[in-house]
Structures are given as structure tokens and as C-alpha cells.
């Protein structure tokens, strides 16, 4: 592959949205969404990240496996400390098998709301896409907040209450004409009748899953999370924060204007922002331009079954050029419950969580507490007292999602536990959604790997489901939506040594502690060990 260079300057940028006054947000290079990285499979990219903002930030390359090189992965206090104001960190993005659409985003506080952008990975020169199209467009769906997102989460964590909701969704930075005062800020895709468009959809929103569709047009999903899928023809898709989907749409309708719409899927009783954002799929040609575009029919706000019905149809391409290699000899089997909890309010404090408690969230009833030195640094240098190696392989209590679970440890243990995994283990993780707190769908994301989603269903996991797993062509992804009160089983081979964050990609849940760290140990050979650190890793004080 080639070696490419990019310069990213994190800076305060005034942006005007929804007829408001200029709002100062952090961006990369003054752009919202941020600059697009273009590469080919197998390239190496150096990004010189300079932070000129008022506080420390980090940048993560979401879905890039970074083989043996966690040093550039980016989650704060996991693989590095934040890049301080007025300093730089030269990050190295090592592309290997990834091909398709990924993205990058800030991985500190809630700064990723405005610090994010696409990573487009084309096939190696001389090789082909496994599908045909005429033109490609990137579509980034983001959430826009009324005020500084770091303030929002800092205040919410201090009182244990619910963080503010976003005030608008945007398509490539434009809220669209469903919001008042935003008519002239609507994303338009110019379509020529007969042509086929590849849309690279990136969900960089913080807190809500989305349905997407285009009026009167079918879409064909052909890729996800930087890997190809068997073409799936559908009227709508459901995409979670963290996921990317490549879809084809052919302009095969009467020339006109058709709305393309993202609308939220919120599988919970929690208050929700039920706005939608829409762009226009606009044909060239002569027709009545002043007619209102047609709207697509999308599943409703709480339509869990339509969300699930879409997701379970996804299959990896599994062709000769792009084979699936699903581990079938599992040597490590882990079950992880995924819960929203309540912590008791500390004495002498007023808390704004449910019934005067504090919101929290957990994996196996452990609410992750980030250390002040990065776990990678502590691991590599053998520093003691930063984390414990005792994240359990099984939940601490018997769990029944249908039962009365209020007595089953609604408060979680707030600690820093990591899950130790031997090199080259064939790992299965069964995520079990619970009914603690407000149950909902959780997009679980793993750094350093993509994994095969071999099974998914409602209710409690049962061993009898193992024989029904798809080990032939399951989707190969980095983020999977764990269904509300349901389960998901994933498999991967632990062939990438390092310190890898695993968390829910709903930002409020991650902030409440729905995170853990997987440490994959070095293998015996020299080419199976974590590479040495670069010398400009931001220091931890
Ligand atoms: Cu997209 Cu840990 O992140
Ligand atoms: Cu979650």
C-alpha cells in the first residue's frame, strides 16, 4: 500500500444553525462534518493531529483494526491521555483488511458530536467492487446540540441526571426543511435517471438509532463497517450510532423530488427527540420543481420488530475474494450482561436521576471507571494499581429479563476491570440485554477487531441456540445492536494483541459506565507482540 499524510487541526469554530446565533464548537480544520480521509485497502495513513482547542482531546479511527498498534487507537485514558492544548500527536492508521466505509471521531467527553468525519477505503487498484454503480456520495448523519457538549455531559454526570437531547439531526451538516428556519440548509443529491448511486452512510450521532429510507425507491445494502455484505434489497434500514452502511439506489422513478429521511428508533420509555432530518433525492430534467417531495414510509419511533427484522437479514458476502472465516473452535466463552443502573445518591447531595438516584450503566454489573493514566501505558510498562484483571466471564447474578429484577443489584460496582484474553484464543461473547433501568437497544462496539455476529434474538440466551448459529455467512462488523431485552452472540479470533476498548456506542450509556477493556496478550513470536510506542504519545501527568 501507499503512505498518505493528513493534517488535522482541532479548533474552535463558529457555526450558525437553525437561525440561531453563531455557536462555537470544536471541529477539525473548521469543518462540520470533518474532512474525508481517502485511501485504498492496505495503505498506511499518518495524521498529524494538532489541538488548538481549550481542553484536551483524542481522535479514534473507528473500525480500523490497527494491528499490533493500539498506540494510535485514541480512546482517552484507555490507549492514551488527551492531546493537551497547543500540542500535536502524529497518529498512524494501519489499514489491512478493511474495505468500504469507516469513520474517525473524537474519543474524549462528548466532543465527537462535532469532531468526526469519513474514512473511505477503496479497493486496491486493479481490483473491483463486488457491485456496480455510477457515482458515490458520503452521507454523514450527526446530532446538533443547543450548547457545548462537554458542558452537557459534565453537568449531567455531576448530578446523575439525564443529559440534554440534541435539538436537530443533520445530513452532512444540514438539518433540512423539517426544521423551522432551515429550508435553505437541506442536503440535495442530484440524480440522473437510470444511474445507480453508492451512498456511504455514517451514523456519527451520539444517542439515537435511526431508520433511513428514500421515498418510492428501494435501496440495496451492500456493505457495512468496512466489509462487504450480500446485497439486501429493502425499503428502509436501521443504523445505530457507530455503524456505517454502504447502499445502492437506482434513480428509476419518474423524474421528480423525493425525500430521503432519517427518523429515530428509540426503544425505550425515555423522553425522545422525535424530529426527523430529511434531504432531497432530486432528479435532473423538467418537472414541476415547486411540488412538495413525497415522503418515504418508515417504521415508527418505537418499532422494535421492524428494527430487528432488518438487522437479522444482514449476511456477509462470503465470496471467493471476500471469504468469511468464522471461528468454530471456541476456546473462551464469555457472557456479559448489559444494563442501565441506578446508583444511590451520595449523602448531602441532590441527584437528578430516577427517584433522586444517579444514572449509571454496567457490563456484568461493573460500571467502568476510567483511570487517570492510560491502561495501555500501565499495561505496557507494568505499572501496578491502575486497573484490575478481574472482569468476570459470567454475570454476577442469575438474570431473567422477564422477571422482577428490581432486587437484583440495581447499583453497580464502580471499578476499573479489564478482561484478559490469551493470544489467538477463539472467543465468543454473548451479550445479554437486561431489564434493569430503562431497557433499550445497545450498539456494542469493540476496538481492534471486527467480529462475526453469529446469533441474535429476543429474551434470555439459551445454550440450545448455539446449534442454530450462522457460522457460514454472518455479518462481519465492529458495532452490533443488542436488541432490547434480547441477546447477541459474537465471535472473533484474538489475533490482535493490545488494549482494546469495548463499549455501548450510545454516548450517554458509555459516559455512565457501559464500557470495559479487552487486553489481548502478546503471542510467543516477535510478530505477535504489541509494537513499541511512538515517542510523542501525549503524556499522562
Ligand atoms: Cu466509535 Cu470507542 O468508538
Ligand atoms: Cu447502551
CA of 184 to the centre of ligand 1 (A): 32
Name which of 103, 105, 100, 92 is nearest 40 in CA terms: 100
Q: Are 332 and 425 in contact (CB under 8 A)?
A: yes
User: Is residue 410 one of the residues assigned to a domain?
Assistant: yes
The two beta strands, 442-446 and 479-482, are: antiparallel
Of all ligands present, the nearest one to the C-alpha of 440 is 2
Output the nine-digit C-alpha cell for 306. Answer: 421492524
* 112 ligand 1 Cβ < 6 A: no
* 203 ligand 1 Cβ < 6 A: no
**Beta partners for residue 217, in sequence order:** 214
Q: Are 342 and 359 in contact (CB under 8 A)?
A: yes
CA of 453 to the centre of ligand 1 (A): 18
Contacts of 436 (CB under 8 A, 6+ apart): 339, 340, 341, 405, 408, 410
- Parent domain of 69: 1-127
CA of 226 to the centre of ligand 1 (A): 14
* 116 ligand 1 Cβ < 6 A: no
User: Is residue 18 one of the residues assigned to a domain?
Assistant: yes
Q: Are residues 240 and 281 in the same domain?
A: yes
**Beta partners for residue 128, in sequence order:** none
User: Is residue 477 one of the residues assigned to a domain?
Assistant: yes
Could you say which of 127, 160, 195 is where a domain stops? Answer: 127
Could you say which of 264, 290, 322 is where a domain stops? Answer: 322
The sign of the dihedral angle between the CA atoms of 506, 509, 513, 514 is: negative
Burial state string for 404-426 with b = 16 or more CB within 10 A and e = fewer than 16: ebeebbbebeeebbbbebebbbb
Q: Are residues 123 and 134 in the same domain?
A: no
| Residues 247-294: tens digit of each pLDDT | 999 999 999 999 999 999 987 666 666 679 999 999 999 998 888 999
Which atom of ligand 1 is closest in space to residue 242's alpha carbon? 1
DSSP 94-145: E-SS--EEEEEEE-STTGGGTSEEEEEEEPPTT---SS--SEEEEEEEEEE-
Question: What is the residue with the minimal CA distance to atom 3 of ligand 1?
Answer: 62
- In terms of Cβ atoms closer than 10 Å to its own Cβ (0-12, 13-18, 19+), residue 267 is buried
Q: Are residues 375 and 226 in the same domain?
A: no
Q: Are residues 117 and 211 in the same domain?
A: no
Of all ligands present, the nearest one to the C-alpha of 241 is 1
State residue 407's pLDDT score. Answer: 47
- Distance from C-alpha of 469 to C-alpha of 455, rounded to nearest angstrom: 5
Residue at grid coordinates 484536551: 56
Q: Are residues 437 and 501 in the same domain?
A: yes
Domain count, the chain: 3
* 107 ligand 1 Cβ < 6 A: yes
* 34 ligand 1 Cβ < 6 A: no
CA of 282 to the centre of ligand 1 (A): 33
User: Is residue 466 one of the residues assigned to a domain?
Assistant: yes
For the sheet with 23-28, list strands across it: 23-28, 3-15, 44-51, 87-94
* 65 ligand 1 Cβ < 6 A: no
| Residues 375-403: tens digit of each pLDDT | 999 999 999 999 999 999 999 876 666 65
* 205 ligand 1 Cβ < 6 A: no
Which atom of ligand 1 is closest in space to residue 75's alpha carbon? 2
User: Is residue 538 one of the residues assigned to a domain?
Assistant: no
Q: Are residues 106 and 140 in the same domain?
A: no
Q: Are residues 297 and 387 in the same domain?
A: no
Which atom of ligand 1 is closest in space to residue 510's alpha carbon? 2
Burial state string for 357-372 with b = 16 or more CB within 10 A and e = fewer than 16: bbbbbbbbbbbbebbe
Q: Are residues 227 and 265 in the same domain?
A: yes
Which atom of ligand 1 is closest in space to residue 447's alpha carbon? 2
Q: Are residues 269 and 149 in the same domain?
A: yes
Q: Are 332 and 428 in contact (CB under 8 A)?
A: yes
Q: Are residues 284 and 365 in the same domain?
A: no
Contacts of 364 (CB under 8 A, 6+ apart): 336, 337, 391, 392, 394, 395, 396, 516
User: Is residue 537 one of the residues assigned to a domain?
Assistant: no
- Distance from C-alpha of 422 to C-alpha of 424, rounded to nearest angstrom: 6
DSSP category for residue 149: H
CA of 479 to the centre of ligand 1 (A): 9
Question: Would you say the pTM of this structure is higher than 0.95?
Answer: yes
Residue at grid coordinates 440522473: 192
Question: What CATH number does the domain containing 374 carry?
Answer: 2.60.40.420
Per-residue pLDDT in tens (0 to 9) along the chain, 541 residues: 999 999 999 999 999 998 888 899 999 999 999 999 999 999 999 999 999 999 999 999 999 999 999 999 999 999 999 999 999 999 999 999 999 999 999 999 999 999 999 999 999 999 999 999 999 999 999 999 999 999 999 999 999 999 999 999 999 999 999 998 887 899 999 999 999 999 999 999 999 999 999 999 999 999 999 999 999 999 999 999 999 999 999 999 999 999 999 999 987 666 666 679 999 999 999 998 888 999 999 999 889 899 999 999 999 999 999 999 999 999 999 999 999 888 999 999 999 998 899 999 999 999 999 999 999 999 999 999 999 999 999 998 766 666 555 545 578 999 999 999 999 999 999 999 987 766 688 999 999 999 999 999 998 999 999 999 999 999 999 999 999 889 999 999 999 999 999 999 999 999 999 999 999 999 999 999 999 999 999 989 7
| Cα dihedral 161, 167, 170, 174 in deg (nearest 10) | -150
Could you say which of 71, 104, 127 is where a domain stops? Answer: 127
Which atom of ligand 1 is closest in space to residue 105's alpha carbon? 1
- In terms of Cβ atoms closer than 10 Å to its own Cβ (0-12, 13-18, 19+), residue 244 is buried
User: Is residue 182 one of the residues assigned to a domain?
Assistant: yes
Q: Are residues 77 and 109 in the same domain?
A: yes
* 60 ligand 1 Cβ < 6 A: yes
Name which of 477, 422, 471 is nearest 450 in CA terms: 477
User: Is residue 351 one of the residues assigned to a domain?
Assistant: yes
Q: Are residues 346 and 462 in the same domain?
A: yes
* 62 ligand 1 Cβ < 6 A: yes
Amino acid at each position: 500500500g501507499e503512505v498518505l499524510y493528513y493534517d488535522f487541526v482541532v479548533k474552535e469554530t463558529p457555526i450558525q444553525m437553525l437561525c440561531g446565533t453563531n455557536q462555537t464548537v470544536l471541529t477539525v480544520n473548521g469543518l462540520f462534518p470533518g474532512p474525508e480521509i481517502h485511501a485504498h485497502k492496505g495503505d498506511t495513513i499518518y495524521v498529524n493531529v494538532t489541538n488548538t482547542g481549550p481542553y484536551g482531546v483524542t481522535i479514534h479511527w473507528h473500525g480500523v483494526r490497527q494491528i499490533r498498534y493500539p498506540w494510535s487507537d485514541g480512546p482517552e485514558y484507555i490507549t492514551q491521555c488527551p492531546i493537551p492544548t497547543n500540542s500535536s500527536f502524529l497518529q498512524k492508521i494501519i489499514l489491512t483488511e478493511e474495505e468500504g466505509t469507516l469513520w474517525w471521531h473524537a474519543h474524549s467527553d462528548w466532543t465527537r458530536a462535532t469532531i468526526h468525519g469519513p474514512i473511505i477505503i477503496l479497493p486496491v487498484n486493479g481490483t473491483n467492487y463486488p457491485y456496480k454503480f455510477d457515482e458515490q456520495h458520503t452521507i454523514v448523519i450527526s446530532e446538533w446540540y443547543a450548547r457545548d457538549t462537554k458542558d452537557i455531559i459534565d453537568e449531567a454526570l455531576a448530578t446523575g441526571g439525564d443529559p440534554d437531547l440534541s435539538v436537530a439531526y443533520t445530513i452532512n451538516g444540514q438539518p433540512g426543511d423539517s426544521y423551522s428556519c432551515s429550508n435553505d440548509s437541506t442536503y440535495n443529491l442530484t440524480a440522473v435517471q437510470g444511474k445507480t448511486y453508492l451512498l456511504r452512510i455514517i451514523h456519527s450521532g451520539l444517542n439515537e438509532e435511526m431508520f433511513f429510507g428514500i421515498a418510492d425507491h428501494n435501496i440495496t445494502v451492500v456493505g457495512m463497517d468496512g466489509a462487504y455484505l450480500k446485497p439486501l434489497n429493502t425499503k428502509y434500514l436501521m443504523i445505530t450510532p457507530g455503524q456505517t452502511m454502504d447502499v445502492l439506489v437506482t434513480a428509476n422513478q419518474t423524474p421528480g423530488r423525493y425525500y430521503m429521511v432519517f427518523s429515530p428508533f428509540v426503544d425505550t420509555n425515555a423522553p425522545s427527540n422525535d424530529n426527523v432530518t430529511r434531504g432531497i433525492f432530486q432528479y435532473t430534467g423538467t418537472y414541476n420543481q415547486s411540488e412538495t417531495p413525497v415522503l418515504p414510509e418508515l417504521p415508527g419511533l418505537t418499532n422494535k420488530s421492524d428494527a430487528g427484522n432488518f438487522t437479522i437479514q444482514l449476511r456477509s458476502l462470503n465470496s471467493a475474494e471476500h471469504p468469511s472465516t468464522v471461528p468454530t473452535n471456541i476456546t473462551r466463552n464469555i457472557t456479559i450482561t448489559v444494563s442501565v443502573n441506578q446508583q444511590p445518591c451520595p449523602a448531602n447531595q441532590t441527584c437528578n436521576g430516577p427517584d433522586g438516584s444517579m444514572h449509571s450503566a454496567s457490563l456484568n454489573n461493573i460500571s467502568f471507571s476510567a483511570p487517570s493514566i492510560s491502561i495501555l501505558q500501565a499495561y505496557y510498562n507494568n505499572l501496578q494499581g491502575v486497573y484490575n484483571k478481574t472482569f468476570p466471564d459470567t454475570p454476577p447474578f442469575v438474570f431473567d429479563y422477564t422477571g422482577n429484577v428490581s432486587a437484583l443489584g440495581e447499583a453497580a460496582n464502580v471499578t476499573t476491570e479489564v478482561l484478559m484474553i490469551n493470544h489467538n484464543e477463539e472467543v465468543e461473547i454473548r451479550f445479554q440485554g437486561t431489564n434493569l433501568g430503562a431497557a433499550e437497544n445497545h450498539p456494542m462496539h469493540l476496538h481492534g477487531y471486527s467480529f462475526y455476529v453469529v446469533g441474535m434474538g429476543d429474551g434470555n440466551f439459551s445454550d440450545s441456540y448455539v446449534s442454530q448459529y450462522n457460522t457460514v455467512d454472518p455479518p462481519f462488523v465492529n458495532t452490533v445492536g443488542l436488541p432490547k431485552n434480547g441477546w447477541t452472540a459474537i465471535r472473533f479470533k484474538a489475533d490482535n494483541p493490545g488494549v482494546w476498548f469495548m463499549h455501548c456506542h450510545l454516548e450517554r450509556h458509555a459516559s455512565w459506565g457501559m464500557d470495559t477493556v479487552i487486553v489481548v496478550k502478546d503471542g510467543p513470536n516477535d510478530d505477535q507482540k504489541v509494537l513499541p510506542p511512538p515517542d510523542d504519545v501525549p503524556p499522562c501527568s
